[in-house]
Structures are given as C-alpha cells and as structure tokens.
Amino acid sequence: MDKFEIIKASILERLRNELPKNLYYHCREHTEDVLDAAINIAGKEGVTEHELFLLKTAAIFHDTGFLIVHRGHEEHSCIVARETLPEFGLPTDEINQVCEMIMATKLPQNPHCKLAEILCDADLDYLGRDDFFTIGNTLFDEMMDFRFIKNEKEWNRLQLKFLENHSYFTQTSIKSRTAKKLEHLEKIREIVEGYDKEGN
C-alpha cells in the first residue's frame, strides 16, 4: 500500500467514526466524491505524479475540520493536517502546500495555484452534474438541522445567488460542467420567480 492509500484509509476511518451524524452533506461520502473529482480533473490538467499526491492529500483532509467545528472548518482542517501529516513523513513545505489548497476552498473560493484551482472545482463538481439536486438536498437537510436557513424558499434563494456568482477555474471543469450547471441555475431561477409572483 503506497503512502497516500495509508493516509486515505486513516482519515476515512476517522470521518466514518467521528463526524457528527447530522452532517448529511459534509460526510465521508462527500470527501470521497471530491477526491474522485480531483483525480479526474488532474488527469486532464496534466499534473505531475507528486503534485497529484499533494492534491489527493488535500482532498482527503479538506473537510476534516468538521471533526471539530462547522463554521471555520477550513482553518481546523489545516490544524488536523499539520497535526497528522508529519506522522506520514511529509515535510513542512508540502504540508503548507496542502493547507494552501484547503484554504482556497473557503467560500468565496480563492485559489492561487493550479492545484488549488483543481481542488476548488472538485469540491463543487456536483454543481454541474446530473446528481445536483440529490446532493443539494443533503446540504439543505444539513443547513436546516444546523438552523442556518429557515425553509425551502430561503434555501432556493440562497442557491440561486450562489450559482449566479459561481465560476469554475480549470478548463476541464469549465468545459465539462458549466453547461449542466447553467441548466440547474435556470430551474432554480424559475422556482424563485414563482415565489416572487406569489408575493413570497
């Protein structure tokens, strides 16, 4: 088993056992989904083998902060990474790169390098996929449970604003995800316009 597979197995086990049960969206499956998307995008963006290792490591750690807090989880994900990765032999400069990628995913996303752009796009890959509404419903349930939103109307207005302001960074995601994302945007816009017509 290579170094990343050992890291992955360790972190996924922690996420499986220690994450709060009401993280319906920010769950272990989300981390695995982001990892898969990152690998897929990286394969088309021409990253090196070592860059891919760092990217995959950032993907597997990017939501570990939810083990500690909900708001501000990115900073805490970096704390977990800095506490954990030396055990796997990563030097400080590589851990810094991993944390730079993780921090880039904080909304509004702000990547400053190619690997961070890939991770940001992987984190929101579902916006341009067929399972957008299925995955979105898990985020709705989570936000309702944490009382970040009050109802479905507030949720759809939030989604509309988010989709209107979101753009992918990599050419891979721009080409493969933007068209479908715009379809979802139009559907949500129609729903919100319905609210407005009803005076809600």
pLDDT band with cut points at 50, 70 and 90 for residue 200:
low
Give the chain's radius of gyration (CA, Å): 17
Helix, strand, coil percent content, the chain, rounded in steps of 5 = 75, 0, 25
Residue 11: pLDDT over 90: yes
Tell me the C-alpha to C-alpha distance, in Å, between residue 101 and each of 59, 84, 158, 159: 9, 16, 25, 24
Of 142, 139, 195, 130, whose CA–CA distance to 162 is shortest? 139
Contact present, 176 and 128 (Cβ < 8 Å): yes
111: helix, strand or coil: coil
Of 135, 103, 127, 120, whose CA–CA distance to 42 is shortest? 120
pLDDT band with cut points at 50, 70 and 90 for residue 199:
low
Task: Please give the average per-residue pLDDT across 164-185, as a whole number.
Answer: 98
Determine which helix (DSSP H) or strand (DSSP E) holds 192, and give its type and residue range: helix 171-198
Residue 196: pLDDT over 90: no
pLDDT (tens digit per residue) in 175-186: 999 999 999 999
Q: Which two tokens stand for residue 91?
A: 């030097």
pLDDT (tens digit per residue) in 98-157: 999 999 999 999 999 999 999 999 999 999 999 999 999 999 999 999 999 999 999 999
Q: Which two tokens stand for residue 130?
A: 């067929």
Between CA 124 and CA 164 the distance in angstroms is: 14
Contact present, 55 and 46 (Cβ < 8 Å): no
pLDDT (tens digit per residue) in 57-94: 999 999 999 999 988 999 999 999 999 999 999 999 99
Of 91, 124, 92, whose CA–CA distance to 105 is shortest? 124
Work out the angle between the directed axes of helices 3-18 and 49-61 (0-180°, nearest 10).
10
Q: Which two tokens stand for residue 66?
A: 């939810």
Q: Which two tokens stand for residue 94?
A: 């590589």
Please report the pLDDT score of residue 71 as a whole number.
87
Tell me the C-alpha to C-alpha distance, in Å, between residue 135 and each of 66, 84, 119, 127, 131: 18, 29, 18, 9, 6
pTM as predicted: 0.96
Please report the pLDDT score of residue 197 as a whole number.
73
Please report the pLDDT score of residue 127 as a whole number.
98
pLDDT (tens digit per residue) in 36-66: 999 999 999 999 999 999 999 999 999 999 9
